[in-house]
Each structure stands twice: as structure tokens, then as C-alpha cells.
Amino acid sequence: MTLYLGIPEDSGIDWGDFRSFAIQKNLTTWLSSCGIGPVSVKIVGKAQPQMTPSDGLVYLLGDPSDSIVSRVGAPESQELHIGQTSALRGEMISEVYVNPLHVYGISATVYHELLHNKFRLAVDIHRIADGNFTSAVAPYTEGGPSDGDQKLMAQALQQNARQFQGGFTAARRP
């Protein structure tokens, strides 16, 4: 399974405080520790990745005003502060707003949105006992994903979910 972190050209990211390598490292460590085969995390820009059905895609955007979900008219979450996941014509769209967050918060929120994505919004991940990254309320506590988070992610990584790749070219709404 490969998790692609998609950064569109007009992402709105404040590059002065964005440390992609540290985010990539956190996610690789956390996802690999779930014990479900090899996992890799790749950052992609203009070129759309060649994805398999088991792969995931989470867009990294500056803030909610840069939302791909909004641009394409998919149903939006009421809680847009740090990220959201939606579906459009059977394809999952996940996005995390990186400008208000630091490396750990970005990584934890990507993990959270990936759970929503891989379960195609059909599992209420916010009801995990002793969950950290599954909590509906950020900020997440330091120390990485809890055992409950990891067990749930092990199940999620085995799910297939079609990913919306049109976010790399989706035009901003006027």
C-alpha cells in the first residue's frame, strides 16, 4: 500500500514552515507499525500517480479556502478546521489543511483522514475506545497513534477505496 500525499500547484501551502520529510517519516513509521505488509508514503505534485485500488491519497492544502472538496462541489463537513474527507461519484477525497498545524499535527490529521478515506466514511472512527488519532477533536496528544488507532488502521489498510485524483487539476471556484 502506498499513501500519496498530493500537493496541487495552487495548494496555498506556506512553504516557510512546511517540513515534508518529517511528515513523510512520521506516517511511514506509524503505518508500517500496523503490521500489514509493506507501506510507503510518497509526496506527489503535478503528475497524477499510478495508483492501485489499495493505495490512498490525501491532499495537503494551505487552509479550508484551498479546499478541493469545495472546488468540485462534493459534500463538505461542518468541521473544516484541519481537514475533511468526502466522496464524489464513488471516489474518496481527503484533504488536510497544513498552514495552521505543525509536523506532528499534520501527520496525525493525515492518519485520521486516511482512516475515513479507506473505510469510505462507512465506519465511525470517532468511537474508538482509548483512541488518539481517532478522536473527533484535535489536537491529538503526543506519542503517536494509540493501540486502538493502530488496530483500526490495520483493518483500514486492507480496504480498497477509489481515490479522486482530479484535485491536481481542479480549478478554483470564482
Position 94 confidence tier, pLDDT thresholds 50, 70, 90: very high
pTM comes to 0.95
Residue 61 confidence (pLDDT) above 90:
yes
| 40 pLDDT higher than 70 | yes
Q: Which residues contact 155 (CB under 8 A, 6 or more apart)?
A: none
User: What is the pLDDT, as a whole number, of residue 77?
Assistant: 85
Calculate the average pLDDT of the chain.
92
Say whether 115 sits in a helix, a strand or coil: helix
Q: Within a 10 A sphere around the Cβ of 40, how many other Cβ atoms?
A: 14
Strands (E), the chain: 2-6, 40-44, 56-61, 83-88, 91-97
What's the CATH number for 2-167? Answer: 3.40.390
**Domain-by-domain residue ranges, the chain?**
2-167
pLDDT at 118: 97
What the block records as the C-alpha cell of 117 is 478515506
**Where are the extended beta strands (E) located within 45-148?**
56-61, 83-88, 91-97
pLDDT band at 174 (very low <50, low <70, confident <90, very high): low
pLDDT band at 78 (very low <50, low <70, confident <90, very high): confident
